[in-house]
Amino acid sequence: MENRGFEPMVLFYRIDYTLTEVPDDIGYFHAQFRRTNPLPYKEVYTIVDGIEGKGHYVGTYMAWGVNNTGWWGVGEIKFYIDGDKEFPTICGTGTEDYFCGSYNFENKKINQYEEFTTPYAGLAQVIRPDGLYRSQTRFGMYRWHIRDPIRFESDLRVTIQALGWRSSGKYLPLQDDIASVAYWYQTLPHKKFPELPDRDYLEII
């Protein structure tokens, strides 16, 4: 644990454990945070990469700050599994589809984004400073792969495109503020996680 604030803090914790034999090929729980602000033009956001070992991917949380007007969730999520290079084993059909929403997360009756929650997916939070399709709207979304784990034998990389629409109907590569936490189980050892950015870079302003 690391305190990056200016003031001291007290950390409370509890560890539950069982005395038992642990198999050599057991999968250990992992979670990794990342943030890119802003995403460079035409780059793809990486949720997680560098996973080596055997295991299964069990969830994604994303915090997405949109810096453009218009619809922002056209991008495909891609799971590169066990040696995939250019083409992923799993390729999604859109950001809102992956998080089990549709039609822009929009309630047409009130012309507004609408939160929803289910046991395994949801649009948990929307900050709407300017209303539908406006700049600086922020979203919190989750998808838990509990009943549909994504299994891998040797390696895994997960990316998502940040794409919206131009007025002409063409794709608009977005330069948004995107953060995520990836959750997975894997055998040990695991590769070293990338260093977190400094506190100024991580500040939400």
Question: ω before 119 within 30° of 0 (cis)?
Answer: no
Q: What is the pLDDT of residue 130?
A: 57
Name the average pLDDT for the chain: 92
Quickly tell me which residue has 């977190």 as its tokens.
196
- Smallest CA-to-CA distance from 45 within 3, 82, 14, 73 is with 73
Percent share of the chain, pLDDT over 70? 97
CA atoms within 13 A on the CB side of 134: 12
Q: What is the pLDDT of residue 111?
A: 84
User: 3-state class of 103 per DSSP?
Assistant: helix
Per-residue b or e along 129-143, where b marks 16 or more CB atoms closer than 10 Å to that residue's CB: eeebbeeebbbbbbb
pLDDT at 74 over 70: yes
**Radius of gyration for the alpha carbons in the chain, expressed in angstroms and rounded:** 19
- Which of these CATH numbers, 2.30.110.10, 2.60.120.1390, 3.30.300.30, 1.20.140.10, describes 28-192? 2.60.120.1390
Q: What is the pLDDT of residue 121?
A: 97
Q: What is the pLDDT of residue 181?
A: 98
At 102-124, the pLDDT tens digits run 888 988 888 888 999 999 999 99
List of residues 6+ apart from 176 with CB closer than 8 A: 38, 39, 64, 65, 66, 67, 68, 72, 162
Q: What is the pLDDT of residue 94?
A: 93
pLDDT at 131 over 80: no
Domain ranges for the chain? 28-192
At 10-35, the pLDDT tens digits run 999 999 999 999 998 999 999 999 99
Which range (1-15, 85-99, 138-152, 172-186) has the least confidence?
Answer: 1-15
121: which 2 tokens?
Answer: 């997916």
At 171-205, the pLDDT tens digits run 999 999 999 999 999 999 999 999 988 888 888 77
Q: What is the pLDDT of residue 198?
A: 87
Mean pLDDT, range 136-155, rounded to an integer: 94
